[in-house]
Amino acid sequence: MARRFTEHEHRHVEALDGVWDFAYLGDTDPDEVDPAAIAFDDRMAVPGCFDATPAYAGRRGLAAYRTRVPVEAGRHRLVFDGVQHWCRVLWNGEAIRDHAGGFTRFHAETEAEAGTAEITVLVDNRFGDRSPLHMEHFDWYHFGGISRGVELHRLGAAWIDAVRVDTASVADRRISVRIDYAAAAPASLPLAVECDGRTVHTEQVDLDAAGTLAYEFELPWVAPWSPQEPRLSTLAVRLGGDDRRERFGLREVRTEHGRITVNGEAVTLLGVNRHELHPQFGHAQPEALLVADVQQLRDLGCNFVRGSHYPMDPLFLDLCDESGILVWSESIGWQYPVEHLTDPAFVEAQLSHIDEMVAAARNHPSVVLWGVLNECPSWSDQGRPVYERLLGRLRELDPTRPVTYASLNAFDDRCFDLVDVVSVNTYPGWYFGGIADIPAELDRIAAHVDALGHADKPLVISEIGAGAVPGWNDQTGSLWTEDYQTALLTTVIDHLLEGQDRISGLGIWVLGDFATTQHREMALKRPRGVNDKGLVDEYRRPKQAYRAVRERFRR
């Protein structure tokens, strides 16, 4: 489980990443699987996506992973950073947790006897009722497997579940801290809080079986975090024999006068959308690839990246924290139909997914926007209550960050009043019109948003771009050539930076090419079965447009 800092120094934590036993069970009902009868006849990397490997490429079905680990008697917690899409966790053959929805951290707990524990995870990458958040028509390939790291934590008599750090005031160098805890029984234990190695608070606290401790601390030595100077601090909390460490940055995000501000300074977002996909690794991003992606963002001159269309790897967020790259963190979704949004099971799954997304990412100062429901029916009467509920949950969980969603059709949208930042996906010059029409179309969107009464809200073009088959050009610079993509994107950027002053953010679609669904209706629109709108290809090799964007973003 890759991190740029150690989350626990006193809790016993064992990384379970490595090579696990593996069995592909195919079209099997998980409820009918006898764990003792599984014939583990292969091996699989964890983290990894089994259907990205040569032996199981493209397969959809149930798979089983197994590892064994020596344990002491007591309470243990298995922590998973991401499993695609549905899974059942078993401890010595007994189910201890089911989980649906990829890309978010969750855990499973059990009381264990001393000895060797056998951990089995049934993983299902099929579409259907077990995975209401994942649908086959989505414009990316849904890989399956234990796609992010796994840890085993040994818990004591009392333990810290989460530490939340919010900036109360940059000017006063003050933070608010919330400590969520649980205990096997009520107890009185010492609490100690340090920041950057300095003690800021100690006391003896009386604990219930579960609860929250809340504090405010002034930290006069802590300098603010900003994109230009991404200074980070570490808060360490010790509660009895347990501990938790969280990295944070002192910064405030606001929306003022049609702009997003960081510590009161207006920021123009210049960046890209990003998928976590690779032909060889699927959704399991090796550390070297995450580092390389951030290097390319910095080389491009980006100060912004949108995680599309699901929460990004925690290590990627760590790297953005350190690089000063602002992040839009988005819950999973892509053009859900109205009937899906009105399904109570779907709404509950989205709410749980949002809870997990915020819990995992809220202490990252680079995350400045929460988003939901990309290109879904925000134009419909039936869709509006769902947007209202999900955006409301985000505000309830974290009132310190603006909320948004990417609208597919700004001119019919009925939910812009629900957000702090208006975000619009549009593809002039690609799906409609020509390159010459782009400036007028962008201005028309801005005028429409303002006419609705939202002139005070920041306006972001959250997606815009053109496909380009890598290496393809012709004499006329036609569609799918690198020449055409370059001409389109230079027109967009030049207009946003020099031809208007209303639109305050740009997310080019997309950083890198990626495999799309095998759903025929979509695949027939994607040469090579790949969404080719990347500035780099699926192996991160720059296209012609990369250099043109770099020249403009770095001015």
**Would you give per-residue pLDDT tens digits along the chain (555 residues)?**
667 788 999 999 999 999 999 999 999 999 999 999 999 999 999 999 999 999 999 999 999 999 999 999 999 999 999 999 999 999 999 999 999 999 999 999 999 999 999 999 999 999 999 999 999 999 999 999 999 999 999 999 999 999 999 999 999 999 999 999 999 999 999 999 999 999 999 999 999 999 999 999 999 999 999 999 999 999 999 999 999 999 999 999 999 999 999 999 999 999 999 999 999 999 999 999 999 999 999 999 999 999 999 999 999 999 999 999 999 999 999 999 999 999 999 999 999 999 999 999 999 999 999 999 999 999 999 999 999 999 999 999 999 999 999 999 999 999 999 999 999 999 999 999 999 999 999 999 999 999 999 999 999 999 999 999 999 999 999 999 999 999 999 999 999 999 999 999 999 999 999 999 887 777 778 889 899 999 999 999 999 999 999 999 999
Cis peptide before 309 (omega within 30 of 0): yes
Predicted confidence at residue 90, as pLDDT, reads 98
Helix (H, G, I), strand (E, B) or coil at 134: coil
- CA–CA dist 291, 297 (Å, integer): 10
For residue 32, how many other CB atoms are within 10 A of its CB? Answer: 8
Helix (H, G, I), strand (E, B) or coil at 288: helix
320-366 tens-digit pLDDT: 999 999 999 999 999 999 999 999 999 999 999 999 999 999 999 99
DSSP state of 96: E
Predicted confidence at residue 2, as pLDDT, reads 66
CA angle 296, 301, 303 (to 5 degrees): 100
450: left (phi over 0), alpha (psi -120 to 50) or beta: alpha
Predicted confidence at residue 5, as pLDDT, reads 80
For residue 349, how many other CB atoms are within 10 A of its CB? Answer: 18
Tokens 């032909």 belong to: 279
* Domains present along the chain, CATH in parentheses: 12-155 (2.60.120.260), 158-251 (2.60.40.10), 264-553 (3.20.20.80)
- CA–CA dist 68, 64 (Å, integer): 14
CA angle 33, 39, 44 (to 5 degrees): 100
Helix (H, G, I), strand (E, B) or coil at 62: strand
Length of the chain: 555
DSSP state of 222: P
The structure tokens listed for 546 are 């990369």
**Residue 173 vs residues 167, 176, 178, 218, 266: alpha-carbon distances, Å:** 8, 10, 17, 6, 20
Residue 118: closest CA among 16, 50, 33: 16
- CA–CA dist 184, 159 (Å, integer): 9
Predicted confidence at residue 415, as pLDDT, reads 98
